[in-house]
């Protein structure tokens, strides 16, 4: 089995104006010999707001840092006011976050809709980061595995998955709360997810699938998550808005922070 290259993904959500986005890009790119793209053994992905995608892409041109949309519509074109199509997104980005819990919670995205979005993203050459995760109530009711099973099965039903597909486990109670899951909780959920991918798509896809943890990832806990058998990186919200924090997380995800 080829080793899975870990991913350090920053979700900027609805933050940063153009100037602040430029400042953050400059800070991540400098100093030259210590820039984010110099960290070896990790794929970095940045997900700015739609209006900043092109400028972020231009800042990182030629570095290997990927740029992602935070969402997209499933249809190629049409009368869908306010939406961005996969074809439009693919002109400026190569990745897309799908099914983030804030999309599910505030914009009524369900697993069926996500199945269409994953299908459309892959058809347009975009690399989806599919987000799944349970609420506090679901965890307390011991329903975490049932929820992950429904989310993964329905979102991936009937889709021919690439061998390096990406899923992010993001328990809702850990997002933006400062209360991350424990490494054991995250590993247990990631193992469930990998098992579901194995059932749905076979051993090659399951062994190659990168599973990220997201929810209050910080420089001091990123390494512990990344060291878990079934966790292959981090999806970072708040801490990705600070260059030093995101650099430190990226180094920890790459396993190259030892001795610093
Ligand atoms: P957080 O957000 O790191 O601020 O908890 C994670 C996410 O929403 O992806």
Give the per-residue pLDDT at 185. 98
Q: What is the pLDDT of residue 88?
A: 98
Domain harbouring 165, CATH code: 3.20.20.70
Range of the domain at 15: 7-31+42-255
Q: What is the pTM of this model?
A: 0.96
Beta carbon of 235 within 6 Å of any ligand 1 atom: yes
Residue 180 lies in a domain: yes
Which ligand 1 atom minimizes the distance to the CA of 175?
Answer: 5
pLDDT block averages, 10 residues each, the chain of length 260:
91 98 96 86 98 98 97 97 98 98 95 96 98 97 98 97 96 95 98 97 96 98 97 98 97 73
Alpha-carbon gap, residue 242 to 138, rounded angstroms: 32
Looking at 59, 73, 100, 134, which residue is catalytic? 100
CB 157 within 8 A of CB 198: no
Number of domain units in the chain: 1
DSSP 180: P
Q: How far is Cα 125 from Cα 140, in angstroms, rounded to an integer? A: 38
Structure tokens at 232: 């292959």
- Position 1 in a domain: no
Name residues whose C-beta falls within 8 Å of residue 49's C-beta, 6 or more positions apart in sequence: 12, 13, 14, 15, 16, 70
Q: Which of 102, 109, 138, 170 is catalytic?
A: 170
């Amino acid at each position: 089995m080829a080793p899975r290259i870990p991913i350090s993904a920053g979700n900027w959500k609805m933050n940063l104006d153009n100037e602040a986005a430029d400042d953050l890009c400059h800070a991540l790119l400098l100093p030259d010999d210590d820039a984010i793209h110099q960290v070896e053994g990790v794929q970095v992905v940045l997900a700015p707001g739609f209006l900043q995608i092109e400028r972020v892409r231009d800042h990182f041109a030629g570095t290997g840092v990927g740029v992602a949309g935070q969402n997209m519509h499933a249809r190629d074109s049409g009368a869908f006011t306010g939406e961005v199509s996969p074809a439009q997104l693919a002109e400026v980005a190569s990745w897309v976050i799908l099914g983030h819990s804030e999309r599910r919670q505030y914009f009524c995205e369900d697993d069926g809709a996500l199945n269409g979005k994953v299908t459309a993203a892959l058809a347009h050459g975009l690399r989806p980061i599919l987000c799944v995760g349970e609420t506090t109530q679901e965890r307390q009711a011991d329903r975490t595995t049932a929820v992950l099973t429904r989310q993964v099965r329905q979102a991936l039903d009937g889709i021919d998955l690439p061998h390096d597909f990406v899923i992010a486990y993001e328990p809702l109670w850990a997002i933006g709360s400062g209360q991350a899951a424990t490494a054991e909780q995250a590993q247990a959920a990631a193992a469930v997810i990998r098992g579901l991918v194995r059932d749905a798509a076979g051993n090659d896809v399951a062994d190659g699938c990168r599973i990220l943890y997201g929810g209050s990832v910080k420089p001091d806990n990123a390494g512990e998550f990344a060291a878990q058998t079934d966790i292959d990186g981090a999806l970072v919200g708040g801490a990705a808005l600070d260059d030093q924090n995101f650099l430190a997380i990226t180094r920890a995800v790459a396993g190259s922070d030892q001795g610093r």
